[in-house]
Structure 1
Amino acid sequence: MKDVTPLPEGWNLHHDGSVLPAQVPGCVHTDLLTAGVIPDPLIGANEHEVAWVGRRAWLYTRRLDLPPSAHERTDLVFEGLDTAAEIAVDGEVLGRTRNMHRPYRFDVSGRSGELSVRFASAYTEAAAVSKLVGERPNVYPEPSQYIRKMASSFGWDWGPTVVTAGIWKPVRLESWSTARLDRVRPVVTVADGTGRVELHIEVERTAPGVARVLTARATVAGVEATTVLDGNRGTVVLDVPGPELWWPRGYGEQPLYEVELTLLDATDELPEPVPLDAWHRRIGFRTVRLDRSKDAHGTGFTFVVNGVRVFARGVNWIPDDVLPSRITSGAYRRRLEQAAGAHIDLVRVWGGGLYESDAFYDACDELGLMVWQDFLFACAAYPEEQPLRGEVEAEARENVVRLMPHPSLVLWNGNNENLWGFRDWGWESLLSGDSWGEGYYLGMLPRIVAELDPTRAYTAGSPWSGSWDHHPNDPAHGTHHSWEVWNRLDYSAYRASVPRFVAEFGWQAPPAVSTLRRALPDDNLAPDSPGMLHHQKAEDGNGKLDRGVARHFAPPDGDFDRWHYLTQVVQARAVAAGIEHWRSHWPVCAGTIVWQLNDCWPVSSWSAIDGDGRLKPLYHELRRVYADRLVTVQPEGDGLTVALVNQSADGWGAEVLLRRLTTDGVTLAQTRLPVGAEARSVTRLAVPDDLLPTPSSPKEYLVAEADGLRAFHFAARDRDTDFPEPRFGVEVQPVTDDGDKVDVVVTAHTLVRDLLLQADRLSPDAAADRGLVTLLPGEQTRIRVSGVSGVSAERVREAIFCVEGS
């Protein structure tokens, strides 16, 4: 069996004549931070202070001494190098790399000496490629399209420009003899109650001309099979009777099966086969189909898992740290558990980031989170000439094979917004016939997926209508990105259409106050303070935030705390308005993917979880609107519709209580209506005329309730509504079995609209288990706060905000 020796220790980073200890995995920025050479690029405006790091060449070295071994060959294996690197031993070059998203292997048999990894600046590499292939347009003024590197390293409208370099994934030595497993490709299917695992095997031999007999033995779920390899290839087939099926969360369990594969030297002169190499992964048995049938509404886009049609409750995922070598398996797990806690069942890995580490996909497998995986192309025209073309094909092949064991992976997507960009962003005239990526998205990538991973669907891009017969972002066909809302329109405009699948939409808000105070220690917090503006990367971001607030509330001039609260309210309401509307139109609309779940640094952005991991009110709102059962009130024509959305596996019989109320607490009318919604269905019911609030009335609103769920419809904007001065009582109760928690009990004496306890104002470590809540007179809510104790009711009251009358 081969021997594996990790190489995390003994590395050095050379900087201006000095030698600094280097962490591997890591990057230049983390090593310079540890050594005190640079300030934290995520604090204040330090991003500018460290910009020089990304424009220099860097050298890593360590001593390479091969461990004693009787094996025939030793390989030096880099799981990831960021990005353009030259690898040498005692000055003799082993090879060069130019792709962050690929592993590399070099034969170092018999070599000892100084191992060096010399990184060129990503800007230098990109400039050289640009000179070869010619210029191409990009949404951002950075060269991300010329280098196979995480595009968002070069900055985005939510992220800083921190251009990394380094050995960002583990390094090891592998010593082996005769042969090793080069690639194992598991094709997992289920038919007629039987699961099948086809392990397509490719091996590398130390002596290609020597035809030693190799066999492969595999086991799964108590089933064993063996095959003899034909040269360097072979296939082991295992049939598993009656496997338990893997389901997305909310639809069933997530059973996973261990697959073990051993490569054996079975040459006749050996008394018994000798193990040479082994491979093991976890798989799940399920079927996934993407229904793109044409119908009366256009062209659908519906995931069908194990024969069940699914409304995808999704979020977009960006790299969780601008320095991705710092993302641990525990960090992945925490963030994805937060997603699962908000009833999310699909995570789209966005194309300007990474093929994430196996820890990410392992967690998704276990949590039942479906994964939509972009190939890594975003918001730019990508040349299709060499040297990029060969890199793109190798990168795609290697990552398809690496990720295909994961049952959570349900879709491969060719790119983010590039087909749309070609049509609408002026690229066609700028390109004048030059290549821009279409050959990747409509040619190379679907061919690779069909060849290597035939059980999964591929779509050419997001958005994409399915062909050039329709506009790429046509809401009636395929996937749609909804950005007119936020960029130009109020969130009420979400209700103007019913796209078939909304793959991006969102609204910004600042992070928690404690996050801002940590990230901007020298800033006097204000919407337009220098630090706040630096940590706002969107074009006219604050202008859009202010206009979003002004459409609904009196502008909070000069009151930062009020501005902060109202921007978070509008973010939560905006995203909820879209999801509630689109969910109420299932099955025409078959999914929503919110932009975005997470942040890579402290910033005003579209995220539900801020850069320090604190939950915004949007997160709690997602938990409400993505729950299996939802009650929502939707304007339709001159009336209102109550929709009961039931995504659970059981039918829902409920009595809906409708009340027409005034803001000062008077009940004008009410009725109870029995309503039923079958499993995975929506029931819509028109609100009777006498329950409809008077249009634009400053005092009237409707409340719809069923089984503890509630929805509101106010006849006028908040700024035009006659809210009473909010009055409520606050009581703090210790949690007896946990001294680090308290319950905050709020009792409303009037209508209290969108009450929010910002727990981090009590302590940076404090967190509340609820977001926005509206209370009717006499109602009470209990908010559990962790990370704090011994806090007074007066202090808690100072951390509570709510909508106030104009």
Structure 2
Amino acid sequence: MSSAPLRLYWEIGHLRPGQQEPASWHPANVPGCAQQDVGTAEGLPDFRVGKNVTLWASLESSSFVYRARFSRPELPDGTQLFFHSDGIDYEAMLAVNGVRLARHVGPYSPIDLDLTPHLAAQNELRIEIAPVPRRAGFPPDRTQASDVFKPAVNYGWDFQPRLIPSGMWRAARLEKRAERRLDAAELRYELSADLRSARLRCLVSGAKLAGRRVRLSLLGPQGREAGVWESVLTADTADVPLGTLENVALWWPRHHGTPALYSWTLSLLADDGSEQDRREGQVGFRRVRLLMNEGSWKEPSGFPKSRSTAPIQFEINGRRIFVKGSNWVPPEVFSGSIGSARYTELIERALGANLDLLRVWGGGGPAHDAFYGECDRQGVLVWQEFPLACNLYPDSPDYLSVLVPEARAIVLGLRRHPCVAVWCGGNELFNSWSGMNDQALPLRALNAICLELDPATPFLATSPLEGMGHGYYRFLNPDTGEDVFRLMANVRATAYAEFGVPGPSPIHVLRSVLPEAELWPPRPGTAWETHAAFNSWTPDTWLDLPVIERYFGSSAHLEELIERGQLLQAEGLKCVYEEARRQKPHCSLAMNWCLADPWPCAANCSIIAYPNEPKPAYFAVAAACRPVLASARLEKFAWTAGELFCAELWLLNDRAADADAGIAAGLVHAWLETQSGRIELLRWSFPEAPANNNIAGPVARALLPESAGGRFTLHVSVEGRPEWNSVYTLLCRAPEDKGSKVVSTPALNQ
């Protein structure tokens, strides 16, 4: 069999400016990160603690050298030895035994080198990594990434420190390859209009394949044989038609069906029918389309006309669904160190929050393949962005010469995953802080690449597009005085692709990274600021002390401050998800910013603190994203004693169209629990409703008693269906209470 991997032991050396050879060598992790390995070996303190991250800045100007020494393996006649890397970040020079074989630029395209002609009895493979790319003449922020095809988040963002990685961030190996072999195979398909059958074909590449027979064996989701097809290859690279698979089991997002996966094996057959080589994989059969949202063709209604809003209604296998998702950023600053277990635990968290989709944000770039494999298995949709974000990327030939092969590598590597439901050019590219538009050559190139290589998967130039929304990101807008409840009631978007409310991390996370002397009270200029609590977007974010104090006054201790901030985040995110669902079918999607922190933020909009610590907001989101729930549209968070309280009642239903998806007629009971006692509101007899349809109910009203100060709760209960019940925690203040002034907010990425 060909392509048997040979394990290498890697070392790394630090090339400081002016050095030709490292002073010392250290063990290297592959996949991993050069800065992480060298910084740790040279005694730099944990960058996640205190202000230590500033001590790592000098590594930006350094080069690094990887080396692996190995004995020449036994190579039967005709067998070759190849070095293969799944990706090296960012610019690298590769040599074996002193002979330079290749220069490589870009983190995503694989490297494949035949070492056979250069082998000796003892060999040394060296890979020199150039200093991280930084655009000359630009300040030390994300704009230094504006002429590279590399995640901008590592150049510094409002929630992540500036730590720019490079090195062998993806797997690398030696492979012995037979003279006649399969190098790659990919099973492709075309579903029939009724989605019941699939025409299969296999893309095959290798060596000396002309005239050879191949057999594809397909196993169904339950492991039973689904079909066997044979064909004769006519060339070393071939698109081989196979046949038709009937009665296809479709791949569905977890909350809408079963994510059915088939397993396939392509065997290269010898003359006697024995297997000479093989390739294996999985395939999920699904159809994804982006449709116009309901009512979008009617807008704009008058003359002069402009274009209607962009299509963002997801249709999966012929069924329109309301997508509840979250924005995904790399869960570690050094992405090369992320293992499959890390992906699995966070994807399981997403499912636990009743989320359907993860938007792989363009600022962070594509993940390792293990992420997509887990999403395939778990039934999580992926919105995949290319690594462009909040910058004006150039039309220059030099930039496009890197973008095009790197983008092709991304699409070719990920298109086989059924979870990948939409391609997107990048984040916020059509906004003023980026300055791009749909004539930008990088975006035209990305669209063309996706059309050529994966035409059945939708493509968006960027997010947001017309009709879609990004923001807001605070509980209270100081420019308008509106809290998130009032803000959401006054907007109407086809999709809320980003929104957030900040909340502090749990106290044990804070104690693990902030010096004890700085824990209380939180202050700018301390490690609180290093960890995103102050001066991250505005002077007050992401801790947002003035907002917390506006509602609750000064906190007596850190635990009280954390509890108050986390309450605002939980109730705020619950409000946005539920309001977006109430705006269905015109609105089709809601995704919070963001799922999880990439390092220990003291405060952030994430619902999972680093490394995997759910905040109360996580459980609030899980409640707001249940397939069916009793819901209340509220005017505001803070009420006044003696004021008329109002809550518009709803039943929200996103369940799929199956036998149990409709809502039978029933009874809703609503009441308040205040410090002065229980206040009955109403009982609502609601009618039955079909699948995937909401029911709007009456408005519940009651005067808040003068003695109802402090917090109170609204309870919305469904008789006989306790799993649909909802509770909202709100604030009641005395009439003379005044909110303090809150500093105004700039546009997020300006």
Superposed pair shares fold, TM > 0.5 = yes
Instruction: Give the counterpart letter for 1:322 in structure 2.
Output: V
Instruction: Give the counterpart letter for 2:129 in structure 1.
Output: F
How big is the shift at 1:490?
2.7
Instruction: Call closer, same or farther: CA 1:89–1:301 in 2, change over 3 Å.
Output: same
Q: How does 1:324-363 map to 2 (within 5 A)?
A: 324-363=335-374
Aligned to 1:744: none
Q: How does 1:344-423 map to 2 (within 5 A)?
A: 344-420=355-431
Aligned to 2:216: 218
Aligned to 1:97: 104
Separation in 1 of the partners of 2:707 and 2:397? Answer: 65
Q: Are residues 1:258 and 2:263 paired?
A: yes
Aligned to 1:679: 691
Q: Are residues 1:228 and 2:232 paired?
A: yes
TM-score by length of 1: 0.79
Instruction: Call closer, same or farther: CA 1:9–1:523 in 2, change over 3 Å.
Output: farther
Contact 2:87 2:169 in 1 (8 A): yes
Q: How does 1:106-505 map to 2 (within 5 A)?
A: 106-112=113-119, 113-123=123-133, 126-127=134-135, 140-191=141-192, 192=194, 194-196=196-198, 198-205=200-207, 212-221=210-219, 222-231=226-235, 232-264=237-269, 271-272=271-272, 275=275, 277-292=277-292, 294-296=296-298, 299=309, 300-420=311-431, 424-425=432-433, 427=435, 438-441=440-443, 443-465=444-466, 477=467, 479-483=468-472, 485=474, 488=478, 490-492=483-485, 493-505=487-499
CA deviation string 1:436-482 (max 9, x = no partner): 982222x22222212211221111111112xxxxxxxxxxx2x3212
Instruction: Call closer, same or farther: CA 1:161–1:554 in 2, change over 3 Å.
Output: same
- 1:539 alignment partner, one of 520, 537, 540: 537
Separation in 2 of the partners of 1:522 and 1:111? Answer: 57
Instruction: Call closer, same or farther: CA 1:91–1:554 in 2, change over 3 Å.
Output: same
CA deviation string 1:685-734 (max 9, x = no partner): 1225xx444699956875432132444578x84444899xxxxxxxxxxx
How big is the shift at 1:632?
1.5
How big is the shift at 1:641?
1.8
Aligned to 2:745: none
Separation in 1 of the partners of 2:74 and 2:736? Answer: 82
Instruction: Call closer, same or farther: CA 1:695–1:413 in 2, change over 3 Å.
Output: farther
Separation in 1 of the partners of 2:673 and 2:596? Answer: 38
Contact 1:655 1:673 in 2 (8 A): yes
Q: Are residues 1:56 and 2:62 paired?
A: yes
Contact 2:393 2:442 in 1 (8 A): no
Aligned to 1:778: none
- 2:26 alignment partner, one of 20, 35, 59: 20
Contact 1:290 1:304 in 2 (8 A): yes
CA deviation string 1:755-774 (max 9, x = no partner): xxxxxxxxxxxxxxxxxxxx
- SS of the residue aligned with 2:397? coil
Aligned to 1:623: 622
Instruction: Call closer, same or farther: CA 1:195–1:260 in 2, change over 3 Å.
Output: farther
Contact 1:8 1:23 in 2 (8 A): no
Instruction: Call closer, same or farther: CA 1:555–1:588 in 2, change over 3 Å.
Output: farther
Aligned to 1:656: 668
Instruction: Give the counterpart letter for 2:124 in structure 1.
Output: E
Instruction: Call closer, same or farther: CA 1:721–1:305 in 2, change over 3 Å.
Output: farther
Structure 1 unaligned runs (5+)? 266-270, 429-434, 466-476, 724-806
Contact 2:473 2:502 in 1 (8 A): no
Q: How does 1:691-706 map to 2 (within 5 A)?
A: 691-693=701-703, 703-706=715-718
- SS of the residue aligned with 2:256? coil
Instruction: Call closer, same or farther: CA 1:495–1:547 in 2, change over 3 Å.
Output: farther
How big is the shift at 1:33?
4.8
- SS of the residue aligned with 2:552? coil
* Alpha-carbon RMSD: 2.9
Instruction: Give the counterpart letter for 2:683 in structure 1.
Output: T
Q: Are residues 1:634 and 2:644 paired?
A: no
Separation in 2 of the partners of 1:42 and 1:483? Answer: 28
Aligned to 2:505: 511
- SS of the residue aligned with 1:444? helix
Aligned to 2:641: none
Separation in 1 of the partners of 2:681 and 2:405? Answer: 67
Instruction: Call closer, same or farther: CA 1:702–1:170 in 2, change over 3 Å.
Output: closer
Instruction: Call closer, same or farther: CA 1:483–1:696 in 2, change over 3 Å.
Output: farther
CA deviation string 1:283-341 (max 9, x = no partner): 11222111125334653521111211111010010001011122111111111111111
How big is the shift at 1:663?
3.7
Q: How does 1:29-48 map to 2 (within 5 A)?
A: 29-48=35-54
Aligned to 1:741: none
Q: Which one is further off, 246-255 or 22-31?
A: 22-31
Contact 1:11 1:24 in 2 (8 A): no
Contact 1:287 1:306 in 2 (8 A): yes
Q: Which one is further off, 360-369 or 632-641?
A: 632-641
- SS of the residue aligned with 1:110? helix
Q: Which one is further off, 633-642 or 151-160?
A: 633-642
Instruction: Call closer, same or farther: CA 1:543–1:55 in 2, change over 3 Å.
Output: same
Instruction: Give the counterpart letter for 2:228 in structure 1.
Output: E
TM-score by length of 2: 0.84
Separation in 2 of the partners of 1:289 and 1:662? Answer: 48
Following TM superposition, the consecutive aligned residue runs of length 4 or more in structure 1 with deviations greater than 6 angstroms are none
Aligned to 1:527: 522
Contact 1:656 1:672 in 2 (8 A): yes
Instruction: Call closer, same or farther: CA 1:694–1:483 in 2, change over 3 Å.
Output: same
Aligned to 1:766: none
How big is the shift at 1:662?
5.0
Instruction: Give the counterpart letter for 2:144 in structure 1.
Output: P
How big is the shift at 1:55?
1.6
Aligned to 2:74: 68
Q: How does 1:698-737 map to 2 (within 5 A)?
A: 703-706=715-718, 707-708=721-722, 709-711=724-726, 717-720=731-734
Contact 2:676 2:707 in 1 (8 A): no
- SS of the residue aligned with 1:652? coil
Instruction: Call closer, same or farther: CA 1:598–1:541 in 2, change over 3 Å.
Output: farther
How big is the shift at 1:225?
1.9
Q: Which one is further off, 569-578 or 23-32?
A: 23-32
Instruction: Call closer, same or farther: CA 1:235–1:720 in 2, change over 3 Å.
Output: farther
Separation in 2 of the partners of 1:357 and 1:713? Answer: 39
Separation in 2 of the partners of 1:632 and 1:597? Answer: 23
Instruction: Give the counterpart letter for 2:450 in structure 1.
Output: V
Separation in 1 of the partners of 2:713 and 2:513? Answer: 41
Separation in 2 of the partners of 1:22 and 1:541? Answer: 40
Structure 2 unaligned runs (5+)? 16-21, 220-225, 300-307, 637-643, 738-750
Contact 2:108 2:409 in 1 (8 A): no
Contact 2:87 2:107 in 1 (8 A): yes
Number of corresponding residues:
679
How big is the shift at 1:164?
1.6
Aligned to 2:639: none
Separation in 2 of the partners of 1:324 and 1:683? Answer: 44
- SS of the residue aligned with 2:4? strand
Q: Which one is further off, 68-77 or 311-320?
A: 68-77
Contact 1:179 1:205 in 2 (8 A): yes
Separation in 2 of the partners of 1:668 and 1:641? Answer: 15
Instruction: Call closer, same or farther: CA 1:47–1:436 in 2, change over 3 Å.
Output: farther
How big is the shift at 1:609?
0.8
How big is the shift at 1:425?
3.0
Aligned to 1:752: none
How big is the shift at 1:227?
2.8
